[in-house]
Amino acid sequence: MSKIKLGADVKEEKEIEKEIKKEKEKKQAGSAFFRLMSELGASRFLLAASLAFSLVFSALTLYIPIIVGGVIDDITRGAGILDVKGQLIKTALFAAIAALSRYASDVLSNKVVFRTVKELRKKAYKKLSRLPVSFFDKGTSGDAISRIISDTDAVGDGLLMGIANMFTGVVTIASTIIFMLGINLRMTLIIVLLTPVSLAAAAFLAKKTYRLFISQSEKRAAETAFLSESLKNLKLIKAFVREEKSARDYEEKVDDYSDCAKKALFASSMLFPSTRFVGAVIYAAVGLAGAFFVISGSLTIGGLTCFLSYAGQYSKPFNDISGVVSEMQNSVACAERVFELIDAEEMTHDGNGSIELKRGEIKFDSVSFSYGGSEPTLSGVTFTVKAGCKAALVGPTGCGKTTLINLLMRFYDADSGKITIDGKDIADAPRGDVREMFGMVLQDTFLFEDTVLENIRIGKPEASREEVVRAARLTGADMFIERMSDGYDTVINGSSELSEGERQLISVTRVMLAAPPMLILDEATSSIDTMTEMRVNAAFAKIMENRTSLIVAHRLSTVKNADLILVMKDGRIVESGAHGELMLRGGFYKELFESQFEAA
């Protein structure tokens, strides 16, 4: 008995959770819809003009059947062609004005939609720069790309149909009822009483499609993310002969998206036939009732013709609106994903104080940190790098060296403890101010699709060509740059024949040109041959003079001349001192140093 009761309770809890989820989806959909409408407010004057032209189109479209009905009645009464010529000219004129009004309405609505989509994309892209690095730890770049490109495209498609058909449809329906009431009350009631059937069918199917469109957007994002990742790592896929496996994995993503899209399309495609069927029933009912009214003499043939025209015009907006509803469901579902990105929690306290570099002393005081509440990556890290000191961070992979740099650059904020520069807590200063104090050369290089010249002066846009060339000569990068097809004006792209070492030399030259107050070198020479490394290190020696520098290195031979070596293990500083001092201690550093030479 208790088991049966327990099973019933579980079932009831699941039903409650299901209902809560449905209510949440309704609120989110409603919120996204009204917010999407508010985005159109920036173009309210263009939108108002578009709706005004749409109103003119609807009014003339409804007035033309009255003229045509009158012409038919005149002809049935024996009037000649000359008697109706004026009416026919008026009809042609009104039809031309209606067509031009519709054209103007469509042009203006397109401008409104494209402007709205453009602004959404701008907001989403700007938000990316304000998001914490941890946001991208949870998601993928492909998902963000899908939200900014694919989802905003879908929003635009829905808005185009909505503006073009929704308002026109509503105006047409309301105006048609008014015109029909002026012709025959009883036939108007037949049409109006059958209308809720169409609305009920559309509302039922609309609820079903929303969740499917949300799922479709998510599947599309997963496909985009996988494709982006595969293209970035194409060499790796080929190196491990994973082409077939990668193709199968992509096919699964495509199949998942395709299946979901088919379901959403099938559900949304049922809207049009259902409203079309109801429209056909209304038209048949009007025709049958009208025939009896004509026989009884309470309605003329011209009046019936006019009324049948109105019946068709009355049902057509419902068909159009049903198509709009399905598109708007997709649009709102995609808009919700875009708004999720725009509303994502930004970086925590940016600091409203100021920080002024006087000496360049860096201090970590009992700093602890973990990624997303997991096991601590850093635990109680305390050390001081004096002004002008060249300090090296060494230790096994995963010991926390890069994390320490991430905290210093405020890509993340420490969970506890304090990081100061010249005694000033960096948490109290704007992130931009802190980052401008450092020049970074990373192990993984990234070059923009631009000229060599522009890639080098990213950190100093105002630098002259002569300054760029001088910096390149210091690093030795000029030796291969001048051999390139257009020298410093050569455009770097995915097909550029640059080795990893050459790409890294360009990154090193960037920092050399910017000459920042402090330096961070994260395996900066790992991809450069020994001879080039010697030239780069000689150049770094010049730029590091009287500058506080932090060097992250795995090859311990490169940090023997550092003023201070900080040895890390399991997220802690276990030893510190100069190379000779640490070797004499015979501790963990000596063990690391000797193991590298034994391996070599």
User: In this predicted structure, what is the pLDDT of residue 318?
Assistant: 67
Characterize the bridge pairing of strands 416-421 and 548-552. unpaired
- Within this chain, do residues 407 and 530 fall inside the same structural domain, yes or no? yes
Q: pLDDT band at residue 364, thresholds of 50, 70 and 90?
A: very high
Q: Which among 342, 376, 411 is the end of a domain?
A: 342
The domain spanning residue 583 has which CATH number? Answer: 3.40.50.300
- Within this chain, do residues 400 and 334 fall inside the same structural domain, yes or no? no
User: In this predicted structure, what is the pLDDT of residue 419?
Assistant: 92
Nearest-angstrom CA–CA distance, 305 and 308: 5
The reply to whether 133 falls in a domain is: yes
Does residue 205 surpass a pLDDT of 70?
no
Of 325-339, 527-541, 568-582, which range is least confident? 527-541
Rounded to a whole number, what is the distance in angstroms from the first to the last CA of the chain?
72
Does residue 566 surpass a pLDDT of 90?
yes
Which token pair is 142? 């492909």
**583-585-591 Cα angle (round to 5):** 55
Q: pLDDT band at residue 261, thresholds of 50, 70 and 90?
A: confident
Q: Which among 307, 342, 377 is the end of a domain?
A: 342
Q: pTM above 0.75? A: no
C-beta of residue 509 within 8 angstroms of C-beta of residue 539: no
CA 120 to chain centre: 9
- Within this chain, do residues 415 and 502 fall inside the same structural domain, yes or no? yes
User: In this predicted structure, what is the pLDDT of residue 442?
Assistant: 76
Which token pair is 575? 């030893």
What is the secondary structure of 346-390 as a DSSP string?
--S----S----SS--EEEEEEEE-STTSS-SEEEEEEEE-TT-E
Which domain covers residue 495, as residue numbers? 362-599
User: In this predicted structure, what is the pLDDT of residue 100?
Assistant: 92
The reply to whether 39 falls in a domain is: no
Of 56-70, 90-104, 560-574, 580-594, which range is least confident? 56-70
- Within this chain, do residues 122 and 269 fall inside the same structural domain, yes or no? yes
Q: pLDDT band at residue 366, thresholds of 50, 70 and 90?
A: very high
Q: Which residues contact 275 (CB under 8 A, 6 or more apart)?
A: 198, 201, 202, 315, 318, 319, 321, 322
Strand partners, 520: 440, 550
Question: Which tens digit of pLDDT belongs to each residue from 427-462?
Answer: 888 888 888 888 888 777 778 888 899 999 987 888
Question: Which tens digit of pLDDT belongs to each residue from 462-521?
Answer: 899 999 999 888 888 888 888 888 889 988 875 567 777 788 888 888 888 888 888 888
Provide φ and ψ at 556, rounded to 5°. -70, -20
Of 7-11, 283-287, 326-330, 563-567, which range is least confident? 7-11
Q: Which residues contact 433 (CB under 8 A, 6 or more apart)?
A: 351, 354, 355
User: In this predicted structure, what is the pLDDT of residue 16?
Assistant: 46
Q: How many independent structural domains does the chain possess?
A: 2
Does residue 322 surpass a pLDDT of 70?
no
- Within this chain, do residues 380 and 329 fall inside the same structural domain, yes or no? no
- Furthest C-alpha separation in the chain: 122
Does residue 21 surpass a pLDDT of 80?
no
What is the secondary structure of 34-76 as a DSSP string?
HHHHHHGGGGHHHHHHHHHHHHHHHHHHHHHHHHHHHHHHHHH
| Mean pLDDT across 307-333 | 71
C-beta of residue 434 within 8 angstroms of C-beta of residue 413: no
Does residue 47 surpass a pLDDT of 70?
yes
Please tell me the total number of residues recorded for the chain in this structure.
600
The reply to whether 322 falls in a domain is: yes
Smallest CA-to-CA distance from 194 within 177, 178, 179 is with: 177
The reply to whether 573 falls in a domain is: yes
Three-class secondary structure of residue 299 per DSSP: coil
Does residue 567 surpass a pLDDT of 60?
yes
Higher pLDDT, 232 or 115: 115
**59-280-70 Cα angle (round to 5):** 40
Q: pLDDT band at residue 130, thresholds of 50, 70 and 90?
A: confident
- Within this chain, do residues 527 and 571 fall inside the same structural domain, yes or no? yes
User: In this predicted structure, what is the pLDDT of residue 20?
Assistant: 43
Does residue 247 surpass a pLDDT of 80?
yes
Q: pLDDT band at residue 561, thresholds of 50, 70 and 90?
A: confident
| Mean pLDDT across 210-228 | 77
Q: Up-side HSE of residue 563: CA atoms within 13 Å toward CB?
A: 16
| Mean pLDDT across 534-544 | 72
Question: Which tens digit of pLDDT belongs to each residue from 157-203?
Answer: 778 777 767 777 777 777 777 777 777 777 778 777 777 766 666 66
Highest mean pLDDT among 165-179, 219-233, 396-410, 433-447: 396-410
The reply to whether 230 falls in a domain is: yes
User: In this predicted structure, what is the pLDDT of residue 164?
Assistant: 66
- Within this chain, do residues 127 and 243 fall inside the same structural domain, yes or no? yes
Nearest-angstrom CA–CA distance, 399 and 31: 45
CA distances from 57 to 99, 100, 102, 178 (A): 7, 8, 6, 16
- Within this chain, do residues 555 and 451 fall inside the same structural domain, yes or no? yes
The reply to whether 36 falls in a domain is: no
Three-class secondary structure of residue 574 per DSSP: strand
| Mean pLDDT across 293-299 | 76
Does residue 342 surpass a pLDDT of 60?
yes
Strand partners, 552: 393, 522
Which token pair is 409? 């650059």
- Within this chain, do residues 336 and 374 fall inside the same structural domain, yes or no? no
The reply to whether 11 falls in a domain is: no
User: In this predicted structure, what is the pLDDT of residue 138?
Assistant: 66
Does residue 412 surpass a pLDDT of 70?
yes
User: In this predicted structure, what is the pLDDT of residue 77?
Assistant: 65
- Within this chain, do residues 153 and 297 fall inside the same structural domain, yes or no? yes
- Within this chain, do residues 328 and 467 fall inside the same structural domain, yes or no? no
Nearest-angstrom CA–CA distance, 143 and 141: 5
Higher pLDDT, 408 or 39: 408
The domain spanning residue 177 has which CATH number? Answer: 1.20.1560.10
User: In this predicted structure, what is the pLDDT of residue 6?
Assistant: 46
Higher pLDDT, 458 or 533: 458
The reply to whether 300 falls in a domain is: yes
- Within this chain, do residues 328 and 395 fall inside the same structural domain, yes or no? no
Q: Which among 281, 311, 342 is the end of a domain?
A: 342
Nearest-angstrom CA–CA distance, 334 and 336: 5
CA 591 to chain centre: 48
Summary mean pLDDT of the chain: 78
